[in-house]
Amino acid sequence: MILRLAPWFFGLLALFAWEGAVRGLDVPAYIVPAPSSVFQAFVADPLGLAVSLASTLTVTFAALLVAAILGASMAIGMATSRFAQAAIQPWAVALQVTPLPAIAPLIIIWVGDPFTSLVVCATIVAFFPLFANTATGLASPPPELADLFQLYGAGRFRTLTLLRLPAAVPYFLSGLRISGGLALVGAVVAELVAGSGGFASGLAYRILEASYRLEMPRMFAALVLLALAGIAINYGLGAFGDWVTRRRGNA
């Protein structure tokens, strides 16, 4: 019980220290706002911030879904064909190491539709952990089990569906949890780039807008919402993974 409450105690202590330091040192709000000022900024426009958060989360989950489908599909393709592995893996790595801010403006111009372009950008960031984890899971069964399947005459398809795919499920779920946070990061980066070009959408644009106007409390309120959303996504996907694991254990 104490361990579960420890993060809350630490967070409250940090907030009180932050509030006391800002008030004691008389730091201007346009440099570092006090937590009370951040809360007042949220109370002043809760609906606007909530709508922007919903927009960012819509992009995040759409990108996560696309990344899960593409990552799992390509990993399965690599597991069933050496030619596919040779063709896909280098490009997947190249996509992973390419900085999103460098290619996001091109994607936004080429795609045209704002929402689709944001999803594409976030998918690029979220794709690799799902792809790499699933591929690792598909290759994880011991060689003895694969030899046993071959001994009993199981073909490639049956070996894949009865041995490799079940073994890859925990790896896929682990990659999903990692990619959930990365999809949010990708959505925020894409919204910042799009916001610089005049497309107003999501919390990232609200952060950009507040920074231009030196409305630091509003900017911090948006940042806090993004942080809370990231924590909720991480714990939510972790709980989903635990639920799937328990269901598989009871089956």
The answer to whether the beta carbons of residues 242 and 63 sit under 8 Å apart is no
The CATH number linked to 86 is 1.10.3720.10
62 Rama class: left (phi>0) / alpha (psi -120 to 50) / beta? alpha
Q: How far is CA 230 from CA 80, 114, 193, 199, in A?
A: 35, 23, 20, 23
The predicted structure's pLDDT at residue 72: 92
* Phi, psi (deg, nearest 5) at residue 43: -65, -30
Which domain covers residue 90, as residue numbers?
Answer: 48-250
**37 part of a folded domain:** no
**163 part of a folded domain:** yes
**91 part of a folded domain:** yes
For 50, how many CA atoms within 13 A lie in the half-sphere containing its CB? 6
**166 part of a folded domain:** yes
**4 part of a folded domain:** no
Angstrom distance (rounded) from CA 153 to CA 159: 10
**7 part of a folded domain:** no
Best CA proximity match to 184, nearest among 62, 89, 93, 77: 62
**81 part of a folded domain:** yes
Number of domains comprising the chain: 1
The predicted structure's pLDDT at residue 103: 85
**34 part of a folded domain:** no
Consecutive 10-residue runs of the chain (251 residues): their mean pLDDT? Answer: 76 85 82 87 88 92 95 88 81 81 85 88 92 89 73 72 84 94 92 73 85 87 92 94 82 56
The answer to whether the beta carbons of residues 186 and 122 sit under 8 Å apart is yes
The predicted structure's pLDDT at residue 212: 84
Token pair of 235, please?
């714990």
Measured from the Cβ of residue 198, the count of other Cβ atoms closer than 10 Å reads: 7
